[in-house]
């Protein structure tokens, strides 16, 4: 079975539209709530029958949920690897749930509900992983939507909950609120001024952590950092979010300061570097993913510094997602090998930039 992503409201990527606050620096905000169904072993220890029953229970509850009205259910165990990869590249399912790791193939009962900026992964490490994604810096709003969905599902599906420990999760690092609040932020100024390490160390001292573009275990590419809370127990959801808001605000200020310093002290060097990045993307005939990410980071900075005009942040955001291997294969209508993908990527980026090139320079 092949999935039709156009069925999803805005392809499931409305968070790319750069409509949110601070969207020149903050790409997106995400809230994840980990929940488990009482009376079943956690996913990794659950039998196929148990996983299917978890799916059936969640499905029933989701069907009655207003938050998920119009949402689609994708059974990952019934669709092809290529399609699962598409969902992963859109940040809609984790690599684990999509079974993209050769050692961990997709498991029976793996599924995802996808609505507009809201979703539920089923039979991931925890039975339910509720996800709320918003464009830009919007932690409060993202949490409200996740919490509303949580109330709806929790009133029908009995969650595993402990009076002392809170929501019970497969991994004790998520126990308590089960909440991971994260902000995907672009920090080229801090990287170029070499201030980034100090900022990241500071985050860790405040009980926060950072990861790459794809969450846990992923590397930092294109100067994108995912900043999130590290601990989930002993503080309320509101406190955790409030602290993250406070810290991210400071990080945004620091990034803005760094950009000013760069322009003041190294104006033409930076300007040259960013235009070269633009030139490469505009004319290269082959681009690896990391290359594309790094040059796109430069162009995004150039747009932020108003060196390049007429190019929208939305276009740059879309390029992050659509220049990935599965998306390129999807557009080309066939599986691409690495060098074919590099050529297709260069072509895709060239076309996207050319269509907005009207008022450059």
Partner 1 sequence: MICDSCKERDAVVHLTQIVDNAVTKLDLCEKCAAEKGVETSGGLPAHPLGQFLADVQQQTSIPAGEIGRCTFCGASMKDFRASGRLGCPRCYTTFEGSLRELLRRVHGHSRHVGRSYDAPEPVRREQDSIRGELRERLRRAVESEQFELAAELRDKIRVLDQ
Per CB under 8 A, 144 contacts partner 1: no
- Pick the stretch among 45-53, 80-88, 97-105, 242-250 that binds partner 1 (CB under 8 A): 45-53
Angle at the Cα of 211 from the Cα atoms of 95 and 58, rounded to 5 degrees: 40
* CA-wise closest residue to 171 among 118, 231, 126, 206: 126
> Is the Cβ–Cβ distance between 109 and 51 less than 8 Å?
yes
Longest dimension (CA), the chain: 64
CB of 120 to partner 1, least distance (A): 17
CB of 39 to partner 1, least distance (A): 4
- Pick the stretch among 50-58, 180-188, 218-226, 339-347 that binds partner 1 (CB under 8 A): 50-58
Q: How many residues does the chain have?
A: 361
> Is the Cβ–Cβ distance between 210 and 251 less than 8 Å?
no
Per CB under 8 A, 246 contacts partner 1: no
Q: Which long-range contacts (CB under 8 A, 24 or more apart) does 61-66 make?
A: 61/152, 61/153, 61/156, 61/157, 62/113, 62/120, 62/153, 64/152, 64/156, 65/149, 65/152, 65/153, 66/152
Angle at the Cα of 349 from the Cα atoms of 344 and 350, rounded to 5 degrees: 95
User: How big is the site for partner 1, counted in residues (CB under 8 A)?
Assistant: 48
Per CB under 8 A, 108 contacts partner 1: no
CB of 77 to partner 1, least distance (A): 20
Contacts of 116 (CB under 8 A, 6+ apart): 9, 10, 14, 70, 71
Site string for partner 1, 152-191 (x = CB under 8 A): --xxxxxxxxx-xxxxx-xxxx-xxx-x------------
- Pick the stretch among 42-50, 80-88, 134-142, 271-279 that binds partner 1 (CB under 8 A): 42-50
CB of 151 to partner 1, least distance (A): 9
What is the spatial distance between Cα 224 and Cα 360, in angstroms, rounded to a whole number? 25
DSSP three-state, residue 72: strand
CB of 175 to partner 1, least distance (A): 6
CB of 102 to partner 1, least distance (A): 19
Site string for partner 1, 197-216 (x = CB under 8 A): ----------x---------
Per CB under 8 A, 147 contacts partner 1: yes
CB of 221 to partner 1, least distance (A): 24
> Is the Cβ–Cβ distance between 320 and 348 less than 8 Å?
no
Residues near partner 1, by CB under 8 A:
36, 38-42, 44-45, 47, 49-50, 53, 56-57, 60, 125, 147, 154-162, 164-168, 170-173, 175-177, 179, 207, 231-237, 240
């Amino acid at each position: 079975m092949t999935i039709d992503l156009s069925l999803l409201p805005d392809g499931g990527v409305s968070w790319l539209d750069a409509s949110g606050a601070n969207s020149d620096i903050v790409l997106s905000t995400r809230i994840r709530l980990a929940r488990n169904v009482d009376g079943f072993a956690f996913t990794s220890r659950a039998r196929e029958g148990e996983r299917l029953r978890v799916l059936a229970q969640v499905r029933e509850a989701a069907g009655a949920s207003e938050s998920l009205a119009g949402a689609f259910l994708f059974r990952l165990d019934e669709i092809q690897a290529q399609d699962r990869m598409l969902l992963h590249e859109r940040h809609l399912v984790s690599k684990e749930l999509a079974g993209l790791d050769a050692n961990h193939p997709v498991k029976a009962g793996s599924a995802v509900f996808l609505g507009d900026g809201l979703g539920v992964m089923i039979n991931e490490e925890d039975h339910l992983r509720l996800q709320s994604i918003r464009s830009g810096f919007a932690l409060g709003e993202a949490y409200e939507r996740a919490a509303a969905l949580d109330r709806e599902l929790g009133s029908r599906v009995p969650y595993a909950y402990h009076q002392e420990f809170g929501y019970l999760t497969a991994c004790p690092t998520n126990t308590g609120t089960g909440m991971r609040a994260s902000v995907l932020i672009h920090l080229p100024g801090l990287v170029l001024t070499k201030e980034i390490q100090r900022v990241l160390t500071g985050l860790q001292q405040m009980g926060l952590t950072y990861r790459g573009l794809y969450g846990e275990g992923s590397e930092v590419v294109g100067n994108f950092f995912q900043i999130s809370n590290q601990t989930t127990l002993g503080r309320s959801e509101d406190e955790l979010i409030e602290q993250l808001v406070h810290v991210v605000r400071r990080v945004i200020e620091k990034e803005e300061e760094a950009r000013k310093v760069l322009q003041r002290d190294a104006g033409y060097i930076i300007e040259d570097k960013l235009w070269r990045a633009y030139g490469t993307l505009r004319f290269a005939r082959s681009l690896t993913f990391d290359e594309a990410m790094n040059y796109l980071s430069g162009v995004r900075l150039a747009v932020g510094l108003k060196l390049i005009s007429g190019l929208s942040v939305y276009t740059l955001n879309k390029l992050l997602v659509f220049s990935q291997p599965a998306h390129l294969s999807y557009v080309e209508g066939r599986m691409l090998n690495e060098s074919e993908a590099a050529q297709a990527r260069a072509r895709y980026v060239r076309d996207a930039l050319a269509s907005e090139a009207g008022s450059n320079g």
